[in-house]
Amino acid sequence: MHRRRRTALALSAALVAAAPLLAACGSEARPGAAAVVGGERIEVAALQSQVKDVRAAQEESPDAAQMIKNTGQLTRAKLHALILDRVLETAADNAGVTVSRKELQDARAAAVQQSGGEDQLEAMLLQQRGVAPGQIDEAVREEVLLTKLAQALGADLGTPQGQQKVGEALTAASKALDIEVSPRYGAWDDAKIQLGEYKAPWITQITKEPEAVQAGA
């Protein structure tokens, strides 16, 4: 049980991890939109708000300089996470999976206990995943949703086969959403479920690509 929980957390972290910033130029896919997912816009202002919250939290940390340095491409990371959140939500809907308020509360309480307290959880997520305190519930929800999706698919997240099965469900959802990203941020890859050149650890395991994943990329 604990092994599966740790594996799910690792996969969730990979899902919301950052992507390297491309210096691509060109006109916006839609004016004012960082991306359009399933016909719904992810506004640049909403993306910038997420980045601002993380930066504000980082600046209050004793390790502020190092954390900011390690997340130099935070805007791209947050856009990747916002798109992935909608892809995961769609895949879960397709599988008939939902997350109740109680499940979210229980999962957050468990995360707090495992981390040694609320402050420790906030510090860990900020440092390791670039998640601001106000974004923790969404991060926990993604973990629960991913775990329940795998269960619905009969996939063991602790095995490459299980990860591949979940990956296939996410790819199908991604294609159905017809994701369009502003050229300034790169392009979305449905097959790899990633933004631009980002290589997530769980995708690397499936595709057996040798590229290493850099923290804060």
- Supply the pTM of this predicted model: 0.78
How high is the pLDDT of residue 202? Answer: 42
| pLDDT of residue 206 exceeding 60 | no
Q: Confidence class of residue 32 from pLDDT cuts 50, 70 and 90?
A: confident
| pLDDT of residue 68 exceeding 60 | yes
CATH code for the domain defined by 2-38+45-207: 1.10.4030
According to DSSP, residue 101 is labeled H
Alpha-carbon distance of 87 to 113, in angstroms, equals 29
* pLDDT tens for each residue of 76-124: 999 999 999 999 999 999 999 999 999 999 999 999 999 999 999 999 9
Which of these, 189, 160, 139, 170, lies nearest to 17 by C-alpha position? Answer: 139
How high is the pLDDT of residue 216? Answer: 38
| pLDDT of residue 210 exceeding 70 | no
> What phi, psi does 120 have (nearest 5°)?
-65, -40
Q: What mean pLDDT value characterizes the chain?
A: 82
Which ranges of the chain does DSSP label H, i.e. alpha helix?
2-15, 44-59, 64-70, 74-94, 101-115, 118-129, 136-153, 160-177, 201-207
- Region 123-145: mean pLDDT is 95
Question: 32 exposed, middle or buried (CB, 10 Å; 0-12, 13-18, 19+)?
Answer: exposed
The domain segmentation of the chain, as residue ranges, is 2-38+45-207
Alpha carbon of 195 to those of 16, 56, 61, 115, 140: distances in Å?
Answer: 11, 25, 29, 30, 22
Alpha carbon of 173 to those of 83, 89, 134, 148, 177: distances in Å?
Answer: 11, 9, 27, 16, 6
How high is the pLDDT of residue 208? Answer: 38
How high is the pLDDT of residue 72? Answer: 84
Q: Confidence class of residue 73 from pLDDT cuts 50, 70 and 90?
A: confident
> What phi, psi does 132 have (nearest 5°)?
-75, 160
**The one-letter amino acid at 65:** A
The gap between the terminal CA atoms of the chain, to the nearest Å, is: 30
Q: Confidence class of residue 39 from pLDDT cuts 50, 70 and 90?
A: very high
